[in-house]
Amino acid sequence: MSAQKILIIGGVAAGPKAAARARRMAPDAEITIVERGSLVSYAGCGMPFYVAGEVSKFEHLFETTYGVIRDAGYFWREKGCKLLTRTEAKSIDRTKKEVLVENLETGEQYNLPYDKLVLATGASPVIPPIEGIDLKGVHRLNHPDDAEAIKKHIAEREVDEVIVVGSGLIGLEVADAVAKLHLFTTVLELQDQVLPGLLDHDLAEWLSAKLEEAGVEFRFGQKASRIKGDEDGFVTGVVTDSEELEGQLVVVAVGVRPNTELAKQAGLEIGETGAIAINEYLQTSDPDIYALGDCVENTHLVSGKKVYVPLASTANRQGRVVGDNVTGGNTKFKGILGTGVLHVMEYNVGRTGLGEKQAKDLGYSVLTALNNTFDRTHYHPDHGMMMMKYIIDDKTGRLLGAQGQGLGDVIKRIDVLATAITYGATVDEISDLDLSYAPPFSTPIDVAQHTANIARNKMSGIAQCIGAAELKKKMETDEDFVILDVRTDEQFNTRQLKDNRVRLVVLGDLRERINEIPRDKELVVICALGTRSYEAFRTLKGAGFEDVKYLEAGLQGWPYEL
């Protein structure tokens, strides 16, 4: 009996992972990987760090942890897989179970047979139809060659100003990388906020304000209409619908599209998102053809809806599932939460599950909780400020999504909450988790649980909050209300809201001075983080004040100028 033939189209992340798992499960199978590029199994997520100089050698992006380059020799010697680089899959004959391929070096075409076929064709960057997009010095960052070209351009040209088109994950990673090279950076974003696919608007406002303080400029709500250049064909800037920006390097990062041409030509089903449709075993509409990674759509674990969220973590997890199933296994891939994280300009940013608008659009009765606090005990020298937001089903208390950002260890909490959401946890159950504590790592009640407790207080009615955007809007009116600041005199004198309705009453003096506070006006209590203002809120409510709220996340979460 002849050995099983497993043919994999795509050699970046998902394909090689599927090949490696399949080899372990079926030592006698004939496994062939076809890749149209010359580089395989490379660390795409490491490219911004290479541009910034934090990854010192180009080869580090496609070598193993023990220093061996992942090339055809490596895949044959260590994985027992045949790797064909610079070879493009042209068409699939599902009846004959053959793939027509072309050697891009010689032009030779020939057929490769398969018993099981795997499509790991990935995604390609969206290239907007902008005049000047082909000028020298205009780049993308979707392949190691792009990273090398950006570094070369910076080294060979006098680059002082960089324009990044797009403020998604890749766009901000690029901005972070070039800012580390001390280049003035402007980020151009068509939407009205940074990270529109990751963060809710309230967190995004805070983050962009912090990044601007760190030296990155943003232009929101502007569209690049033309990229301008000099007589030698080198880029000199970007013209938007509002202004002209100067720059000697432009990086376009406006998203990616799944590579589905091969699947469409073969008559495979394309899903509602425009990516390849798959079942829970990662099979396409042809049971002998599997697909995974950035070319497929997935099921969201909370909404149950089909989504397209291309992430390296998903691609690698799916590789194991496909490796199992093409060798006779029965492993399921249940879906994703779209968990994404980012490190930019010293800030850690993360998200998992549904955003606030997504949850509302799906018909949930949504309650949110916002918490601004330290990631570990305040007296530990490594403590950092962080902000967390929960999106909760108000009827059941179930956590639907979470977002976080700050200098503190946000990502640890995002991972805990991704686990909680996966298993349908409520905020009560999150509060009951037996999480670890020691001063170098956390506070006695962890940030994740503290945020859950804020949500529980709001759900039970013992906390009534106002958000920063709502308070700012109130301050822009002539409404007669009182902003009660309960911080210390020193904190108040250092940083305060500029509004004649602000009154300072230090929390420790509140009970003694409570008769000075008007009972016939709305009160908004503020402090640094929201903790003292909540204490003051409960004190005022206990003293019979009715129309009172406190500023959620405090002045540390205030994204506007004071």
Reported as a single tens digit per residue, the pLDDT across 441-487 is 999 999 999 999 999 999 999 999 999 999 999 999 999 999 999 99
Neighbour-count burial of 355, counting CB atoms closer than 10 A to its CB (0-12 exposed, 13-18 middle, 19+ buried): buried
CB proximity list for 264: less than 8 A, separation 6 or greater: 270
Q: Which residue has the tokens 């490594």?
A: 382
CA nearest neighbour of 431 among 423, 418, 420: 420
pLDDT of res. 450: 97
Provide the edge-to-edge strand list for the sheet that holds 340-344.
Answer: 340-344, 347-353, 399-406, 385-393, 366-374
Closest by CA position to 247, among listed 130, 125, 126, 135: 135
Q: Quick one: which H or E segment has residue 298? A: strand 298-299
The C-alpha atoms of residue 128 and residue 388 are separated, in whole angstroms, by 34
Sheet strands (E) in 155-241: 161-165, 184-189, 217-220, 224-229, 235-240
As a whole number of angstroms, the longest Cα–Cα distance in the chain is 92
Residue 2 pLDDT? 76
Residues in the chain: 562
Task: Give the residue among 551, 526, 548 at the shortest CA–CA distance from 371.
Answer: 551
| Cα torsion angle, 261, 264, 270, 274, sign | positive
Q: Is 527 a catalytic residue?
A: no
The residues of the chain that CATH labels 3.40.250.10 are: 465-557
Determine the 3-state secondary structure of 225 from DSSP. Answer: strand
Neighbours of 419 (CB within 10 A): 13
What pLDDT score was predicted for residue 275?
98
Specify the pLDDT at position 317. Answer: 97
Tokens of 196: 């529109």
- Report d(CA 244, CA 68) in Å as an integer: 47
- CB 466, CB 549: distance < 8 Å: yes
Residue 38 to residues 41, 105, 384, Cα–Cα distance (Å): 10, 11, 43
Question: What Å distances lie between residue 346 and 160, 180, 192, 384, 496, CA to CA?
Answer: 22, 11, 23, 11, 25
CATH architecture, range 5-123+257-325: 3-Layer(bba) Sandwich (3.50)
Tell me the two tokens of residue 549: 């709220």
Whole-angstrom distance, CA of residue 162 vs CA of residue 249: 5
The structural architecture, per CATH, of the domain 465-557 is 3-Layer(aba) Sandwich (3.40)
List where CATH 3.50.50.60 sits in the chain.
5-123+257-325, 138-254, 346-460
What pLDDT does residue 73 have? Answer: 92
Q: What distance in Å separates the CA atoms of residue 478 and residue 482, rounded to the nearest whole number? A: 12
Q: 168-199 burial string, b = 16+ CB within 10 Å, else e?
A: bbbbbbbbbbbbeeebbbbbbbbeebbbbebb
Domain 138-254: which CATH class? alpha beta
346-460: CATH topology is FAD/NAD(P)-binding domain (3.50.50)
In this structure, are residues 176 and 162 in contact, taking their beta carbons and an 8 Å threshold?
Answer: no
Q: What is the DSSP letter of 375?
A: S
Structure confidence at residue 1 (pLDDT): 60
Q: Which residues contact 44 (CB under 8 A, 6 or more apart)?
A: 12, 13, 142, 143, 144, 312
Give me the tens of pLDDT residue by residue for the chain, a chain 562 residues long.
678 999 999 999 999 999 999 999 999 999 999 999 999 999 999 999 999 999 999 999 989 999 999 998 999 999 999 999 999 999 999 999 999 999 999 999 999 999 999 999 999 999 999 999 999 999 999 999 999 999 999 999 999 999 999 999 999 999 999 999 999 999 999 999 999 999 999 999 999 999 999 999 999 999 999 999 999 999 999 999 999 999 999 999 999 999 999 999 999 999 999 999 999 999 999 999 999 999 999 999 999 999 999 999 999 999 999 999 999 999 999 999 999 999 999 999 999 999 999 999 999 999 999 999 999 999 999 999 999 999 999 999 999 999 999 999 999 999 999 999 999 999 999 999 999 999 999 999 999 999 999 999 999 999 999 999 999 999 999 999 999 999 999 999 999 999 999 999 999 999 999 999 999 999 999 999 999 999 999 999 999 999 999 999 999 999 998 8
